[in-house]
Amino acid sequence: MKLQEYRSKEILARYGVPLLPGETATTAEEARAAAERIDGPVVVKAQVLVGGRGKAGGVKLAATPAEAEARAGEIIGMDIKGVTVRTLLVAAAAEIAKEYYLGLILDRASKAVIMIGSAEGGIEIEETARTHPDAILSVPLHPLIGLQAHNVRRASFFLAIPADLRSAFATTVKGLHAAFMDSDADLAEINPLVVTPDGQLLALDAKIVLDDSALPRHPDLEAMRDLNEEEPAEVQAREAGISFIKLDGTIGCMVNGAGLAMTTMDLVKLAGGEPANFLDIGGGAKADRVAAAFRIILDDPNVKAILVNIFGGITRGDEVAHGIVEARQTLTREVPMVVRIVGTNAAEAAEILQAAQLITASSLDEAAAKAVAAAKSALSAEPAS
Ligand code: GDP
Ligand code: MN
């Protein structure tokens, strides 16, 4: 789960990372009022969970409250990479002498948290990483000890932090690291971390990405979720206890078990189709969860056929079959459905499905081929637009 900049800064502030004051606003008038309270030049910043807001025109300086109001009016409602700006951060503006990049990332390949730093921070950091990888420092941290003093010194020297700011830099790195560990983050970065002409070190932008699997340990962080920016189907799925990821294909998949769901997607591709989603209804799914899964799948207008693949273990095949038949009566849209149920109570399931005249299949290859064929004929039957 990605946190908005203002949320990320809220967390970092608790760990002593040096920041300038700021307030959120959702209207131009609120932005003006915030600028009046800040009483000085401000920066008006779109709060959207996509990178490159600066380049897209979503970060603007304003010398006066009237200017802040005008800039806010321009940014609210702006479309940045497909996301509409609804919230702004109005923060005291800093003068910048030098921009650095500082980040921590959980690198699964090296099984370590890696500290990344660059003296070429700011909006071109991705470009720098590509063209001058030698300008990026990357230090794996000890998996048990974590951040050590020599790691901090190494970063400080690599970035050529001015001598009188090394202590402030150490505080910042330690604060970022503690925030990262305590919140079970996958990523925490400050870009830019700046030095001002009068010699202050400040974090001007922050981004924290949390490990979704650790969120149950952090109800306070979970509450920072921005539903506005999530795929609505994924929000619904989470509420129903279903793992769901939207994809771009035409074949909706409803499967129990993550591994089986992956296999099902592979076989859809092998049969020449494209899955519309990953969906795991989980173990022991009952009729209501099956119905919720169908609604979520069919909300996607690209879905032209549904492939149901259930391996009955704890999940009983006849329960799922009943769920499918019941759910079908409540669905708003009719699409061909291919159902394969094996395992516990498969025979009972087959009877229920046959009585309801659903397309069934005994092997997964057969099921995938039938679903792909059904989607193709549904697509070719559609009037060309
Ligand atoms: P991003 O483009 O989404 O990463 O948004 P940032 O918050 O990093 O802002 C982009 C750029 O705007 C930064 O790299 C800075 O150069 C500039 N910027 C952001 N805040 C300030 C500020 O307070 N003062 C000045 N002078 N520039 C700023
Ligand atoms: Mn930035």
Residue closest to 201 by CA, chosen among 175, 227, 183: 175
Distance (Å) from CA 24 to ligand 2 centroid: 17
What's the confidence (pLDDT) of residue 331?
83
For the CA of 5, the nearest ligand: 1
What's the confidence (pLDDT) of residue 330?
83
55-91, pLDDT tens digit by residue? 999 999 999 999 999 999 999 999 998 899 999 999 9
State the closest ligand 1 atom to the C-alpha of 20, by its place in the atom list counted from 1: 23
Q: Which residues surround ligand 2, an ion (CB under 5 A)?
A: 191, 205
383 preceded by a cis bond (ω within 30 of 0): no
Average pLDDT over residues 164-181: 98
What's the confidence (pLDDT) of residue 231?
81
Task: Report which protein residue has its CA nearest ligand 1's atom 23.
Answer: 93
For the CA of 19, the nearest ligand: 1
341-377, pLDDT tens digit by residue? 999 999 999 999 999 989 999 899 999 999 999 999 9
At residue 181, does pLDDT exceed 80?
Answer: yes
Name residues contacting ligand 1 (CB within 6 A): 43, 45, 51-54, 59, 61, 93-96, 99, 122-123, 191-192, 204-205
Confidence of residue 384 (pLDDT cuts 50, 70, 90): low
Q: Which residues contact 189 (CB under 8 A, 6 or more apart)?
A: 101, 102, 103, 104, 105, 116, 206, 207, 208
190-236, pLDDT tens digit by residue? 999 999 999 999 999 999 999 999 999 999 999 999 888 888 888 88
Residue of 69, 101, 120, 319 marked active site: 101
The whole-angstrom separation of Cα 106 and Cα 97 is 30
Q: In whole angstroms, how far apart are CA 332 and each of 5, 130, 300, 329, 338?
A: 39, 48, 12, 9, 18
